[in-house]
Amino acid sequence: MEETITIRRPDDFHVHFREGGILSAVAPLTADHFNRALAMPNTTDPIRTGEDAVQYRDQIRKAARNELFEPLMTIKITDGTTPAVIVKAKECGVIAGKAYPVGVTTNAQEGVSDFKKLAPIFSMMQDVGMVLSLHGEISNRFVSVFKKEVKFLPTLKWLVDTFPTLKIVFEHVSTKEAVYEVSMMPDTVAATVTVHHLFLTTDDVLGSYILPHNFCKPIPKTAEDREVIRDAVIQGSGKFFFGSDSAPHVKMRKECGSGAAGIFSAPVVLASLAQFFDEHNHMERFEDFVSRFGAEFYGLPLNTETVALSKSKWVIPEEYDSIVPFMANEKLLWKVVKQ
C-alpha cells in the first residue's frame, strides 16, 4: 500500500505573484495546493495603498482560477507611507505592511531608508492591528551579503521594544542568529521559513558552479545556519511558520549576465516539505507548520478543507511557462495527490 497523508489545507504566508503573464502562469500553481497566500507588494509599480491592494487582489483571484483560493493582501511601507494610508488600507482588508530596506532585493529601489523616521507608521499599524512584515537585511553596501541579516537584528530589537503590541514577522529567516533572536522575543514576533532555506546552503548557489535558479535574497548561509533553522521548524514552537517566498522570474532573467534574485518554488513546496518532515521523522509537525501556526499568528480562522499527499516519486518539471522551478529535474519522494 502506498503511504498517504491528509492534512488541513495550508496557507503560504509569503508569495510573489508578480503581474501580467507571470501572474497568470504562477497563481494557479499556488492555488492548487494552498487555500490562502500572502501576496507581496513589490510589483513593478508597487502596491502602496488599500486601493492598489484591492485591485491587485482581484487580478490574483482572476488569475488563480480557483474559487477556494483567497489572496491575503499587503502594502509596501516606504518613506512616503502616511498613517492615513495605513488606516485606509486596513479598511480595505490589507493584513500586513511589508518593509524593505532600500535596495535589498527585487524591486526594492523604493523602500525604507530609516526605520526610526517611520515610527508614526508603525505606531498606527500597532493601533489598527496590521502586521509588520520585514525583509530583515540592512542595505549598507559595505556590509557583505552574509552579514546583512545579522546586522539588521538591532533594528528588529528596536521595533519590538518601541511597539510592544505590534505583530512582526521576520521573513525568510536565514541565519542562526536571527532564529535565536526571534525565539527569545515575545509572542508578538514570529518568522517565516522557506523551503529553500531548509534545503540549501551557500554552496548550492555558488559551489562548483553558479546555480542561478538557487540564487535568492537572503542568500542561503552555512550548513550550521540551516541546521538551526531546521531545528526551529522541527521543534514546532509556533513562532516559525511557512512562507515560501516563491519568487518567479522568467528563465532569461535568471540565466544572464546579471541574474535576478528569487526562487520559484510554488509548485514543489508542499511535496518537498512533506519529504523534509518525513526524512526528519517528524511528519506529525508538518500540518502545524503549513496549516496552523501562520493562521494563528495572523488571527485568521483555520482552513477546514484538506489536501492529500502520497509517498510516490515524481520528477519536477524543467520549466513552467519559461520559469524554472526550484529543484527542476530532481526527484521528490512525496507528491500532492488530492487537491
Summarize as ranges the residues that interact with Zn ion (CB under 5 A): 245
Q: At what angle do helices 223-235 and 176-184 cross, to 10 degrees?
A: 30
Identify which of residues 181 and 245 has a Cβ nearer to Zn ion in the complex.
Answer: 245
The residues pairing with 7 across neighbouring beta strands, listed in sequence order, are 307
Helix (H) or strand (E) holding 308: strand 306-310
Least spacing, CB of residue 139 vs Zn ion, in Å:
15
Is 16 annotated as belonging to a binding site? yes
By beta carbon distance, the residue nearest Zn ion is 245
Give the residue among 236, 231, 338 at the shortest CA–CA distance from 288.
236
Report, as residue numbers or ranges, the catalytic residues: 245
The dihedrals phi and psi of 87, each to the nearest 5 degrees, come to: -60, -45
Least spacing, CB of residue 259 vs Zn ion, in Å:
16
Separation of alpha carbons 158 and 141, rounded Å: 22
- What amino acid is encoded at 314 in this protein? W
Separation of alpha carbons 96 and 290, rounded Å: 19
Identify which of residues 100 and 286 has a Cβ nearer to Zn ion in the complex.
Answer: 100
Separation of alpha carbons 75 and 53, rounded Å: 7
Identify which of residues 9 and 16 has a Cβ nearer to Zn ion in the complex.
Answer: 16
Strand 335-338 to strand 168-170: parallel, antiparallel, or no bridges (unpaired)? Answer: unpaired
14 SS3 class: strand
Identify which of residues 137 and 245 has a Cβ nearer to Zn ion in the complex.
Answer: 245
Separation of alpha carbons 224 and 65, rounded Å: 41
CB atoms within 10 A of CB 230: 17
Is 249 annotated as belonging to a binding site? yes
Per-residue cell: 191? 518568522
Is 33 annotated as belonging to a binding site? no
Least spacing, CB of residue 83 vs Zn ion, in Å:
25
CB 196 within 8 A of CB 204: no
CB 230 within 8 A of CB 194: no
Least spacing, CB of residue 281 vs Zn ion, in Å:
30
Identify which of residues 52 and 245 has a Cβ nearer to Zn ion in the complex.
Answer: 245
Separation of alpha carbons 67 and 245, rounded Å: 23
Is 282 annotated as belonging to a binding site? no
Least spacing, CB of residue 265 vs Zn ion, in Å:
11
Least spacing, CB of residue 99 vs Zn ion, in Å:
12
Helix (H) or strand (E) holding 194: none
Concatenated DSSP letters of 46-76: ---SHHHHHHHHHHHHHHHT-TT-EEEEEEE
Separation of alpha carbons 242 and 32, rounded Å: 17
Identify which of residues 7 and 178 has a Cβ nearer to Zn ion in the complex.
Answer: 178
Is 196 annotated as belonging to a binding site? no
Which residues fall in the annotated binding site for Zn(2+)?
Answer: 14, 16, 98, 135, 172, 245
Annotated binding site: 14, 16-18, 42, 98, 135, 172, 245, 249, 261
Q: Which residues are annotated as a binding site for substrate?
A: 16-18, 42, 135, 249, 261
